[in-house]
Amino acid sequence: MKRQFRSGVYTLLLLSLLFVACGSKPDPTPQMPSQKLTSTTEILLTSASGSKLAVQENVKFNSGQAEGIVLQVFPDSVKQTIDGIGTSFTESSAFVLAHLEPQDRMEVMQNIYGEEGANFSLTRTHIGACDFSVEGKYSYAEQAGDTELKSFSIKEDSVGFATADYPGIKDSKYDLLPMIQEALKIKQSQKDSELRIIASAWTAPAWMKDIEMYYQPMTAENNWQGTGGSLKPEFVSTYADYLVRYFEAYKAAGVNIWGLTPVNEPHGNNGQWESMNFSPETQSEFVQKHLGPGLRNAGFENARLLIFDQNRDGIEEWSEVLYPADVEEKYIYGMAVHWYESTFKVYEEVFDRVHAKYPDYTIVHTEGCIDDLGKPAPADCTDPEGRTEKNWFKNDEFWWTPSASDWGYAVPWTPGNGEDHPLYTPVHRYARNIIVSLDHWATGWVDWNIVLDQQGGPNHVGNFCGAPIMIDTDSLDVYYTPVYSVLAQFSRTIRPGDKAIQTQAHTDGLNPDDLHFCATVNEFGLMSVQVLNTTASPIQYKLQVAGEFADVTIPENSVQTVRVQL
């Protein structure tokens, strides 16, 4: 009987996929076959009270239509296909891991990429220098005017860190490329072995740009208008060749790059670190005339080319320029987005509008982190609780309370923060953003640095940030933050190839931010429902699946995963 039921579900899933592929909206009230569900398969919990992927007692399903607070899922109305959940490789992460003995480092890497760990499936890395490089200001083609790229080399990614310069280093040969290769080696021993890597350049080599520098910082002399500069017209095609060379060099090193963005944050960062500007128009021309053809001609036609790669609220402007120009050749896979425009908004309404107009293109979140974690308090900022520093290391409470801030230390805010950047709870920001994004057409979600030191670095311009795993490079204490546990919970229950499911929430009596949820289903009919409770009290809700519902309680300040075999 179960086999017949699942076969029926799979048929409906296939039909729904065909409708979605044609741009049709999912049926808001789809019906499942009349087969009773018995109980949940598994319930996992990560919470402020100390639970970390803890297995909870299963609950039974009852027949009928639930009332009250109801989270309703429609398993036969599937939406987008998931690309994965994960985090990023950076030179800074490799540097911190190089402080551990190889066996201790392998334990951390297994916890990141192993099947018994977070088992991350989607990741990102940088092409050349970025702010999370130890010393920065490097590329793979440093010889000015080398339009044939004869000097191209990725050796900078595997040169390591000399113990004479960095006395705490235990493995002087460990670096960005060896870190990626180590992760791939871990994956190769698994059934679920794919690791999808998105690569992003922060800038072209300095000589290809009009400022002939990696970045021009803000100073009084330039009226505090720093810049990363733009490509010189004569080197636009050379930069496309540079990115293709990167694909080729990494492939030769045993690393296949799954996706690419033309540049990180094309609006720039006011010259604070490596950057380079594109407008929607110049990036569209670059993709259609240079990068797209270059990748195809070099045999990388399957590379997922993601445009934009900056804050979510800007994707409509970029989609209106780049997608219509892509109709003929179809070089573009979708839009890469970051979360830095607001500490609490997800901009799901923007996602919905872009998807409705351009349903053939995807949305992938490629960067998010806890900003300004290790920076000292500015002179004009005071903490309302009288603290002189943020206590986040080996302190789970920090991650579960409104303790983090953007662009400043605490209140009063430094100029320019505005109402979109109040103090926030780090775990809530992560879980809310992932859940709401996946519920509104995002296919993947990638965190920034997976590992940083106790200060949130190293970072060659002092742009310190939080990371899921933080390691004291003096004591060698390894701290798995609550964010790691939440990301691991999502990653282990949302896998590449899973399908997002249509949902509907009935939450009368709750505030809009109290409860968030999304749902996915895998090829075997195992449904995963992700729920976030941001409040200080437990919430009782009904999980409605067609004509069956289960009474579920999500504890206060927690992230819950409810799994059901359909």
Residue 182 sits at φ, ψ, to 5 deg, of -65, -40
Percent of the chain past pLDDT 70, that is, above it, reads 89
pLDDT on residue 407: 66
* Tens-place pLDDT, residues 45-72: 999 999 999 999 999 999 999 999 999 9
In this predicted structure, what is the pLDDT of residue 22?
Answer: 39
What is the residue-averaged pLDDT of the chain?
Answer: 91
Report the alpha-carbon distance of residue 18 to residue 317 in Å, rounded. Answer: 29
Residue 31: pLDDT band with limits 50, 70, 90: very low
Which residue, 290, 298, 269, 266, is CA-closest to 280?
A: 266
CATH number corresponding to 84-493:
3.20.20.80
Over the range 317-353, which residues count as b (16 or more CB within 10 Å of their CB) and which as e? ebbebbbebbeeeebbbbbbbbbbbbbbbbbbebbee
Residue showing tokens 């749902």: 519
Tell me which amino acid residue 142 is.
Answer: E
CA distance 397 to 400: 5
DSSP 138: -
What secondary structure, in 3-state letters, does 272-295 show? CCCCCCCCHHHHHHHHHHHHHHHH
Q: Does domain 2-81+499-565 have CATH number 3.40.50.300?
A: no
List where CATH 2.60.40.1180 sits in the chain.
Answer: 2-81+499-565
Where do you find CATH 3.20.20.80 in the chain?
84-493
Separation of alpha carbons 258 and 364, rounded Å? 13
Contact partners, residue 529, CB within 8 Å, separation at least 6: 71, 73, 517, 518, 519, 543, 561, 562, 563, 564
Give the 3-state secondary structure of residue 297. helix
CA distance 92 to 306: 24
92-101 burial by CB neighbour count: b if 16+ within 10 A, else e? bbbbbbbbbe
Percent of the chain surpassing pLDDT 90: 84
Q: Quote the longest CA-to-CA distance of the chain.
A: 77
User: Is 131 a residue whose pLDDT tops 90?
Assistant: yes
